[in-house]
Structure 1
Amino acid sequence: MNYQSAEFIISAAKLKDCPADSVCEVAFAGRSNAGKSSAINTLTRQGQLARTSKTPGRTQLINFFQIAEQQYLVDLPGYGYAKVPMKMKNNWQIHLEQYLNVREPLAGLVLVTDIRHVFKEFDQMMIEWARANELPLHILLTKSDKLKRGGINDALSKARRQVEGMDASVQAFSSLKRQGVDVLANKLDSWFVAAADMPAPDQ
């Protein structure tokens, strides 16, 4: 897939606002300060594609980026930033759960988490959701440039133990140093190809 061709399509406030033409999409989920938008920008080589800010919590909608006809990357609302009003947090969580539970084109979930803090409560919730729904999961341990090799390996081992027995994979990633981009792209490629090979519902 040519992720550099990604183009912003729509910010959906509710499930009904999501693109109706989608046949396959991969969603990125993570806490507000985990580096989720930066990871998307690094993957697509577009510095401003997914909004980033020094103030976590800017991603308040479900943002769709088209990478090919009827195929999308999805930036889900960030979660967990304490300064966001509780009512707004609750709305985010409602829309997030609706998307994850109902959205049929969803082919895989990328869980973005800070490699220095594996795993927080939100991460555990996403892992258990993927386990219960048998959805392929790829865990992106971001900000790996902050740790030495030993710390990276320890975090990778801890994450892999957490998802043992699941359809899940784990990698270290650094947006700052562009490390792990090819590994992420190859994982997403496999999901999009697998979805394309699936028969249509009426077959």
Structure 2
Amino acid sequence: MLVRNRLFTLLSSSVSLSPSPKQCPFTLSFKVNFSRSIRNPKPGPNPRSHVTTTTASKTTKQSQPMSDTARFVRTVLFLPPGVDPDEVTEDMILPGSNIVAGPYAGHSQIKEAEFVKSSGRAKDCPKDDRPEFAIVGRSNVGKSSLINALVRKKEIALTSKKPGKTQLINHFLVNKSWYIVDLPGYGFAKAPDAARMDWFSFTKGYFLNRETLVGVLLLIDASVPPQKIDLDCANWLGRNNIPMTFVFTKCDKMKVAKGRRPDENIRSFQELIRENYPQHPPWIMTSSVTGLGRDELLLHMSQLRNYWDQ
């Protein structure tokens, strides 16, 4: 089977949306350009700079026509550092995503995780130079549930049915070597006046000045149609060259808003992003209930982290 067929095939709506942790209920097809940028490794004169992995414009000779498979790989898949587009095979693509596993993918399992501290300001965050991934998203998108599922430790991150539970920047140390960072959720209109905050002002300093930030996991609720506040957040991160991965949550939901399946909502979100986002970030489908996407997301994070930490 050609590599491009992996994402070009949409399975029928009769497929169960309650997969085992290793199953993906559907695949998606998007003719978009995916971002290939991640944070620069620590060495180097400019920690705020970004590096771009191989792209067609830099590596394809004008005299050599591009095959359909090569064009698909270069325009649809997320190619991490060290991956030759001409050598990508189907089994290198992580299930339920557009992400290719490359040579920097390594040990990704979490053996231990512990809460370190909560910070009210970006400048109060840990200063030990360990790489970190920030998890952000709309209130009730499932940030805490995803963190608990990733570390397989119940309630390491608070979960609550009340929006706006997380009000601080929370650092969790994983395997004593890197951080998961839980940021306040945005858009919680029902929070008490005293608890409301200017989310943008609170987190702007963190995103723009945190030199140890490898990337942002932007959580999107796949059980509902695209939300403007999510698109605004994605566009702001993109304009400021902050690497992100779209993590679609609640992909196990059978009954969803207006009868639309998660894959339909995901496609709609991607199409809206494409209008203002010439290079599209990597994306992956997850479910904290079934475990869908957990191992694949950790593997994706490992290759970005290992490249950053080389």
Provide the TM-score with structure 1 as the length reference: 0.87
What one-letter code is carried by the residue in structure 2 that aligns with 1:93? Answer: F
Partner of 2:183: 76
Instruction: List gaps (5 residues or longer) in structure 2.
Output: 1-107
Q: Which digits, 9 at most, give the CA deviation of each residue in 1:67-91, with x for residues without a partner?
A: 1445211000112112213453334
Partner of 2:304: 191
Q: Which digits, 9 at most, give the CA deviation of each residue in 1:49-76, with x for residues without a partner?
A: 1110121211111000111445211000
Partner of 2:281: 168
CA contact (8 A) 1:173 1:179 kept: yes
User: Structure 1: how far apart are the matches of 2:168 and 2:124?
Assistant: 11
Shift in alpha-carbon separation, 1:101–1:86, aligned structure 2, 3 A: farther
The offset of 1:113, in angstroms, is 1.7
For residues 37-48 of structure 1, the aligned pairs below 5 Å read 37-48=144-155
Matched, 1:180 2:287: no
What one-letter code is carried by the residue in structure 2 that aligns with 1:16? Answer: K
What one-letter code is carried by the residue in structure 2 that aligns with 1:84? Answer: A
The offset of 1:122, in angstroms, is 2.7
Equivalent in 213, 224, 230 of residue 106 of structure 1: 213
CA contact (8 A) 1:7 1:67 kept: yes
What is the root-mean-square deviation of aligned Cα atoms in Å? 2.1
User: Structure 2: how far apart are the matches of 1:196 and 1:63?
Assistant: 22
Identity of aligned residues (%): 35
CA contact (8 A) 1:152 1:172 kept: no
CA contact (8 A) 2:253 2:262 kept: no
User: Structure 1: how far apart are the matches of 2:225 and 2:207?
Assistant: 22
Q: Which digits, 9 at most, give the CA deviation of each residue in 1:88-123, with x for residues without a partner?
A: 333443221221121111111101121023432331
Partner of 2:261: 151
Larger C-alpha radius of gyration, 1 or 2? 2
SS at match of 1:171: strand
CA contact (8 A) 1:137 1:167 kept: no
SS at match of 2:147: helix
For residues 62-73 of structure 1, the aligned pairs below 5 Å read 62-73=169-180
The offset of 1:40, in angstroms, is 0.8
The offset of 1:144, in angstroms, is 1.2
Write out the 4+ residue segments of structure 1 that deviate beyond 6 Å after TM superposition. Answer: none
Provide the TM-score with structure 2 as the length reference: 0.58
Per mean C-alpha deviation after superposition, the further-off stretch among 114-123 and 156-165 is: 156-165
CA contact (8 A) 1:31 1:79 kept: yes
What one-letter code is carried by the residue in structure 2 that aligns with 1:35? Answer: G
SS at match of 1:112: strand
Matched, 1:96 2:237: no
Paired residues in the alignment total 196
User: Structure 2: how far apart are the matches of 1:34 and 1:89?
Assistant: 18
User: Structure 2: how far apart are the matches of 1:183 and 1:80?
Assistant: 28
CA contact (8 A) 2:207 2:242 kept: no
CA contact (8 A) 1:64 1:74 kept: yes
The offset of 1:8, in angstroms, is 0.7
The offset of 1:4, in angstroms, is 4.0
Partner of 1:134: 241
